[in-house]
Amino acid sequence: MRVEIWSDIACPWCYVGKARFEKALAAFPHRERVEVVHRSFELDPGRAKDDIQPVISMLTGKYGMSEAQAEAGEDNLGAQAAAEGLPYRTRGRDHGSTFDMHRLLHFAREQGRQVELLDLLYRANFAEERSVFDDDERLVELAGAAGLDTGAARGVLADPQAYADEVRADEREAAELGANGVPFFVLDRTYGVSGAQPAEVFARALTQAWGERPPLTPVDGDAEACGPDGCAVPQQ
Amino acid sequence: MRVEIWSDIACPWCYVGKARFEKALAAFPHRERVEVVHRSFELDPGRAKDDIQPVISMLTGKYGMSEAQAEAGEDNLGAQAAAEGLPYRTRGRDHGSTFDMHRLLHFAREQGRQVELLDLLYRANFAEERSVFDDDERLVELAGAAGLDTGAARGVLADPQAYADEVRADEREAAELGANGVPFFVLDRTYGVSGAQPAEVFARALTQAWGERPPLTPVDGDAEACGPDGCAVPQQ
C-alpha cells in the first residue's frame, strides 16, 4: 500500500499530523508493506523568496488576528506538538517561501533520501533557532545531514527551474483530488484523510484501505505472458 | 499517476511488453506525470542460485517441448523483440535464479537508480553473450553502470537477507492482485493490464485510468489543517 501525504514545511498541523499518522503506522500490522511518499503543497505559493517575516506578524497581517490571538494559536500548536513528543518554538519563528524546500525534497526522493530530508526540514523550521528561510547554505547543510551530496543540492537550489515542474504537478494533483488544505493523506489513491486527525482515525483508514481494496478493473483480455508454466500466447 | 509493472528479468514477454508500454507512454499527453515502478516476480522462485542451464534445455526439460519447438519459440520471441527495436539472442542464453537481481533492483529503487538498472539487466540477459547468472561480479558491474555504488551493491549481493523481504512482499502482492503471470501492469491500483499487449492497449489503459479516476472515499470528516486562509480547527 502507498500513502501519499501532501504537506508544507511551513504547516504546523502537517508537522503534528505526520507524528499522529506515524503513531498509527507503527502499530499497523502490515506496516512493512506501506510506502510513504511526500507530496508538495505550498500554503503561500506566490511568496517571493526574499519575503521573510516573523510568524506572529504574518498571522496578524495576513489573517487579521490580534497579536494575543496569534500567540494563543502558537501556544496551542506548541502544546499539541508536545503531546506528540515534538519540539516546537512558539515564539521567534520565521515565515517565508517553501518552494525551494519542496524542490529539494523532489531531488531527495530521486536519491532515496526524502524521508530523512523531510524530517530534518520540519525539525529545523519548527524547533531550531536558525531560520530555514534566509540562507540557501542552511538548506544545503540539512541536505547533507539527510545523506545527500551537498554540491548537487547546492546546484538544485541555484537553478530555480530544477524540480519546479514536479512541485507544481503535485500541487495540481492535490487540487484534482479535492484537497484545499494540508496535511492531506491519500491511501492507494482510494481513501482520503484530511487534516491532523487523531492516530485512531489514521489506524482506521489504514485498516480500511488495506482490507477493502476494490478488485482491479481489467483493461482488455490476456496477452502474451510468462507464468509458472512457461511463456505463451493465451487462447482468447 | 503511478504504473507498477510486475516482471521478471528472465521473462522475454516482460522485456518486449515493457517496450510496448513505453511506446504508449511516450505518446501519452500526461507522460510527465506518470511514475513507473518495477515490482518483483520470479517465474522460477524456488530455483537455487547455482542451478544454471541453457534456456533451450530448460524449455525442453521443464515444459516437455521438443528442441525444435523450443527453438521456434525463441525465434518468435527474437522476431517480436526486433519489431520493438530490441536486440535478442535466440540461441545460447542461460536460465537461472533471478532472486538476487530483484534484491538489487529494490536497493536501486532506494537509490533512485531502478529504471537504469532494470534496463541494463534486461539488455544483459537477453542480448549480451556474457551470462548474468554465474558471477556476482557481473551484477556488480551492471549496478555500477546504472550509477550505483559498486561496494554497496556487492554488499547487497553478499547478504542473502538484504531486500529479500521486499522481493517476497512484491510477489505476495502480485498474487493478491490476481496476477498469475507477467508482465502485469497496475495503474493507480485501479486498472490492471495483463501481458505484453500491443501499444494501443496500453495507450487505452493510460487514457482510461487518467480520465476515469474514481473520487477518493473520505475517512472521517475534516480535522485541524492549514489552507490558504490559515491554520484552523474546522467546525464539524
Q: How many percent of chain A have pLDDT more than 70?
A: 98
Out of B59, B194, B216, name the one closest to residue A186 (CB).
Answer: B216
* Cell (9 digits) for B152: 554497496
- CA B213, CA B16: separation in Å to the nearest integer? 28
Are the beta carbons of A220 and B197 separated by less than 8 Å? yes
pLDDT per position as a tens digit, A125-168: 999 999 999 899 999 999 999 999 999 999 999 999 999 999 99
Predicted pLDDT at B221: 77
Task: Say which residues have a Cβ less than 8 Å from residue A230's Cβ, sequence separation at least 6.
Answer: B59, B62, B63
Task: Determine the residue among B187, B220, B235, B236 to mutate to test chain A binding: the one whose Cβ has the most chain A Cβ atoms within 10 Å.
Answer: B220
Chain B residues near residue A93 by CB distance under 8 angstroms: none
Task: Determine the residue among B163, B219, B229, B236 to mutate to test chain A binding: the one whose Cβ has the most chain A Cβ atoms within 10 Å.
Answer: B219
Chain A residues near residue B111 by CB distance under 8 angstroms: 111-112
pLDDT per position as a tens digit, A186-230: 999 889 999 999 999 999 999 999 998 778 888 887 789 998 888
- Please answer whether residues B58 and B43 qualify as being in contact, where contact means their C-beta atoms are separated by less than 8 angstroms: no
Return the DSSP state at B182: B
- Does this complex have an ipTM over 0.90? no
Predicted pLDDT at B235: 45
Predicted pLDDT at B33: 87
Are the beta carbons of B110 and A112 separated by less than 8 Å? yes
Residue type at position A67: E
Question: What top-level class would CATH report for the domain A2-52+96-211?
Answer: alpha beta
Rounded to a whole number, what is the distance in Å from the CA of B222 to chain A's nearest CA? 5
Chain A residues near residue B217 by CB distance under 8 angstroms: 190-192
Going from N- to C-terminal start, the domains of chain B cover: 2-52+96-211
Average pLDDT for residues B78-91, to the nearest whole number?
Answer: 97
E-assigned strand segments in A41-188: 53-54, 94-95, 184-187
**What residue of B is the nearest CA neighbor of A10?**
B226
Q: Kindly report the number of other CB atoms within 10 A of residue B211's CB atom.
A: 8
pLDDT per position as a tens digit, B189-201: 889 999 999 999 9
**In 3-state terms, what secondary structure has residue B15?**
helix
**What residue of A is the nearest CA neighbor of B45?**
A228
Q: Which long-range contacts (CB under 8 A, 24 or more apart) does A128-131 make?
A: A128/A89, A129/A89, A129/A92, A131/A52, A131/A94, A131/A96
Chain A residues near residue B58 by CB distance under 8 angstroms: none
Are the beta carbons of B226 and A63 separated by less than 8 Å? no
A-B C-beta contacts closer than 8 Å:
184
Are the beta carbons of B196 and A225 separated by less than 8 Å? yes
Chain B residues near residue A193 by CB distance under 8 angstroms: 218-220
Rounded to a whole number, what is the distance in Å from the CA of A65 to chain B's nearest CA? 10
Average pLDDT for residues B123-139, to the nearest whole number?
Answer: 96
Of residues A212 and A97, more confidently modeled: A97
Query: How sure is the predictor about B220, in pLDDT bands with cuts at 50, 70 and 90?
Result: confident
